[in-house]
Chains A and B, each alone.
Chain A
Amino acid sequence: MNTATAPEMEIPAVVGSEELDRREAVSETVGDITHPDPVFTCRNVTVWYGDKPGVQDVSIDIGRHEVLAMIGPSGCGKSTFLRCLNRMNDTIEGARVEGTLELDGQDIYDPALFVEELRTRVGMVFQKPNPFPKSIYDNVAYGPRLHGMTRSKADLDDLVRESLEKAALWNEVKDRLDEPGTGLSGGQQQRLCIARAIAVKPEVILMDEPASALDPIATAKIEELIDELRENYTIVIVTHSMQQAARVSQRTAYFHMGRLVEVGPTTEIFTRPRHQLTEDYITGRFG
């Protein structure tokens, strides 16, 4: 079709739209990638899996105490980019990260930086709830114990309670803290994982499709929770549900085929998308 018009383009014509300006999609992200008070500053981030790129040339700021939603068709690199932010990509054999990622002005890929420290500052909640096969209490207490955050058993008890309360789970589990975390329902397990992440007092919480394995009621609870957590934490959430992104986030980033296509305030992205690809995605023409 129009292969001749764009020789340097790497995005194949998934979209049947003729009038698409794909040149822009490759070179530039549409919208304002900056934020006046950034926690994370990411510039030209490219992740290679072997010689195959997972994401390419992503630049974006993540603002303090905002909820940033990352949306896009599956395989577009949302998880890959998210994992850069707490260096979980380090654990993947053959993964290589290029570009700069700064947390409060500090390069997080600086070899002198302790990755353990980064991960206490940037917590993560995974797609599938993954509580340890230990008691509810031990799940939450694991991080604080690991980092020696409390002086006494009473302190630890308080921290566990506080974390479970923040994760809106305390009332459901306060009488059975000794029971295994794996015995909870899926939604409760995910909130337990959030409590576990909160317990180490992170500044940023990364969530990779935290509700994708949950039923609608549990999902609603998680969304409510995210809204409350925003007061104290910066949250980056990957989701495949546009409604969810619209409900919980202030800013939205749309990824496509490893590229960050468009960033903007959530309301604008969903009402007045500027890029053709974004529009196609949110109007449900593909994805």
Chain B
Amino acid sequence: MNNADDAMDAISSPVPARLQRLRRNIRRRRRAERRFRIYGVVAVTIGLVFVLFLFANIVAKGWSAFLLTHVQLDVHFDSATVDPEGDRSPQSLARGDYAKLVKTALRERFPQVRKRRDKRALYKLVSSAAPYVLRDRLLEHPEWIGRTLPVWVPASDDVDLWMKGQVASADVRLDEKQRAWLSALIEQGRVEKRWNPFFFSRGDSRQPEVAGIGAAVAGSFFTLLVTLLLSFPIGVAAAVYLEEFAPKNRLTDLIEVNINNLAAVPSIVFGLLGLAAFIQFFGVPRSTPLVGGLVLALMTLPTIIVAGRAALQAVPPSIRDAALALGASRMQAVTHHVLPLSLSGILTGTIIGMARALGETAPLLMIGMVAFIVDIPRGPLDPATVLPVQIYLWADAAERAYVEKSSAAIMVLLAFLLLMNLAAILLRRRFEQRWQ
């Protein structure tokens, strides 16, 4: 008891100077730490705000592109007009005069419109793609011939912009009469914003209402396919050779340094290289996914090699030793054990490289993938453009109606990138679990 009391006394007695100094010091360090943590939180918040602002801006501008104003017309599928041969064969139906159906339907809806000029103004309410919509619907339903049915057809871009409230009154391109007709249609419930079927299925178009990213997505797909087919096997083989087989000497050191540097070369340089080597020297057709894929493969290779080597290095040497000691050849040790174990790491690197390639624009401009592409490419030898170039083209277009397209295309591109990065993260997580 006594002893304990003495001890208590010692503690509550005035703190010696040395301890006081120590405490002051600790307090100062704590304050510094707190300050530092606040800096961090502020930095992260600022970053998040920027990203959110960017996303919100794009989504706000772009979401409307997924909808398109449609007008409902009572179309009479007159058999003489749509079926010139009279045999209901698809060939015959394809040659029908559907523009006439549209015009007739509009005139019947507004019989008071008589003057030629007014009629032309009336026709401008619906998209010039409307006849193709009718044709496609009829090809699906040949039994409609001779009947009159209500059909939704896309409105023109001017109507679309007006309905979406995206025009400043100064550049409204609808005149008073057109606005009156439109109001009449709206009152009858014949104008609706519906799912835009063209945005994902069509190529670029001079009519903004039917312009889509279909061709660009297909172009991106074929380009990335070429890139993947080239850069993955070559990259993995190079990584395996450098990591598992190459002697460590000056030459391989030099190669290593060069590969690391290559990963940092600005992409436009690869575009120029592709132009000079693939198009001008080897004569690969320009503007095609093939040449685009070749250029992007050059750009992606270093990424895959560097990631591949890191993944191979992460496999413990004891696994190689185990295989070799059982009489496996070096190649077998690699293919049976090291490569399968590092595959998820290699794939992660590949996906990240591919995501970069998907978002790449500059080198593709150099090799002519910036063309106006209406038809969806069917293979790597058809002229094509890619998603980011399509965005660039639309962002540059004069017509107001392309603005939302551009933002919507960005949304799609971001969605693809997000998916790819998610895949990379999932793979990496699996990879990490293996060597807990």
* B326 CB–A CB distance under 8 Å: yes
**Complex interface: chain A residues within 8 A of B337 (CB):** 132
* A174 CB–B CB distance under 8 Å: no
Contact A146 B320 (CB under 8 A): no
* A215 CB–B CB distance under 8 Å: no
Contact B332 A146 (CB under 8 A): yes
Q: Mark A185-206, 1 if CB is under 8 A from B, else 0.
A: 0000000010011001000000
Contact B327 A126 (CB under 8 A): no
Most A CB atoms within 10 A — which of B320, B324, B326, B329? B326
A123-B325 Cα distance, complex, nearest whole Å: 6
* B319 CB–A CB distance under 8 Å: yes
Q: Mark B315-329, 1 if CB is under 8 A from A, else 0.
A: 010111111111111
**Complex interface: chain A residues within 8 A of B206 (CB):** none
* B341 CB–A CB distance under 8 Å: yes
In the complex, what residue of chain B is closest to A127 when comparing beta carbons? Answer: B318
Q: Which of A88, A116, A132, A197 contacts B319 (CB 8 A)?
A: A132
Contact A88 B321 (CB under 8 A): yes
Contact A123 B326 (CB under 8 A): yes
Contact A130 B248 (CB under 8 A): no
Shortest Cβ gap from B242 to chain A (Å): 14
Total interface residues in chain B, CB < 8 Å: 20
* B147 CB–A CB distance under 8 Å: no
**Complex interface: chain B residues within 8 A of A193 (CB):** 322
* B115 CB–A CB distance under 8 Å: no
* A19 CB–B CB distance under 8 Å: no
* A124 CB–B CB distance under 8 Å: yes
Q: Which of B247, B318, B336, B341 contacts A126 (CB 8 A)?
A: B318
Q: Which of B248, B328, B434 contacts A116 (CB 8 A)?
A: B328
Q: Which of A93, A130, A142, A196 contacts B318 (CB 8 A)?
A: A130
**Complex interface: chain B residues within 8 A of A8 (CB):** none
* A59 CB–B CB distance under 8 Å: no
Contact A86 B325 (CB under 8 A): yes
Q: Is the interface of B mostly helix, strand, loop or mixed?
A: helix
Shortest Cβ gap from A189 to chain B (Å): 11
Contact B329 A116 (CB under 8 A): yes
* A51 CB–B CB distance under 8 Å: no
**Complex interface: chain A residues within 8 A of B328 (CB):** 116, 146
Known pairs A132-B319, A133-B341, A146-B332; A197 contacts B248 (CB<8 A): no
A63-B274 Cα distance, complex, nearest whole Å: 66
In the complex, what residue of chain A is closest to B317 when comparing beta carbons? Answer: A91
Q: Which of B320, B326, B434 contacts A197 (CB 8 A)?
A: B326
Contact A133 B434 (CB under 8 A): yes
**Complex interface: chain A residues within 8 A of B248 (CB):** 93
A200-B325 Cα distance, complex, nearest whole Å: 11
Shortest Cβ gap from B386 to chain A (Å): 40
Contact B341 A143 (CB under 8 A): no
A147-B328 Cα distance, complex, nearest whole Å: 9
Contact B318 A128 (CB under 8 A): yes
**Complex interface: chain A residues within 8 A of B322 (CB):** 126, 130-132, 193, 196
A51-B248 Cα distance, complex, nearest whole Å: 17
A130-B336 Cα distance, complex, nearest whole Å: 15
Contact A130 B326 (CB under 8 A): no
**Complex interface: chain B residues within 8 A of A131 (CB):** 322
**Complex interface: chain A residues within 8 A of B318 (CB):** 126, 128, 130
Shortest Cβ gap from A212 to chain B (Å): 14
A116-B326 Cα distance, complex, nearest whole Å: 8
Shortest Cβ gap from A174 to chain B (Å): 22
Contact residues of B between 303 and 335, Cβ < 8 Å to A: 316, 318-329, 332
A133-B343 Cα distance, complex, nearest whole Å: 14
In the complex, what residue of chain A is closest to B316 when comparing beta carbons? Answer: A130
Contact A200 B327 (CB under 8 A): yes
* A78 CB–B CB distance under 8 Å: no
* A29 CB–B CB distance under 8 Å: no
A: which residues have CB within 8 A of B? 86, 88, 91, 93, 116-117, 119-120, 123-124, 126, 128, 130-133, 142-143, 146-147, 193, 196-197, 200
29 contacts between A and B (CB under 8 A): A86-B325, A88-B321, A88-B324, A88-B325, A93-B248, A116-B327, A116-B328, A119-B326, A120-B326, A120-B327, A124-B321, A126-B318, A126-B321, A126-B322, A130-B316, A130-B319, A131-B322, A132-B322, A132-B323, A132-B337, A133-B434, A142-B336, A143-B327, A146-B326, A146-B328, A146-B332, A196-B326, A197-B326, A200-B327
10 nearest A-B residue pairs (beta carbon): A130-B318, A124-B325, A120-B327, A143-B326, A119-B327, A116-B327, A130-B322, A146-B328, A119-B325, A93-B248
- Excluding A133-B434, A197-B325, 17 further A-B contacts by CB distance (< 8 Å) are A91-B321, A116-B328, A119-B327, A120-B326, A126-B322, A126-B325, A130-B319, A130-B321, A130-B322, A132-B319, A132-B337, A142-B336, A146-B327, A146-B328, A196-B322, A196-B326, A200-B327
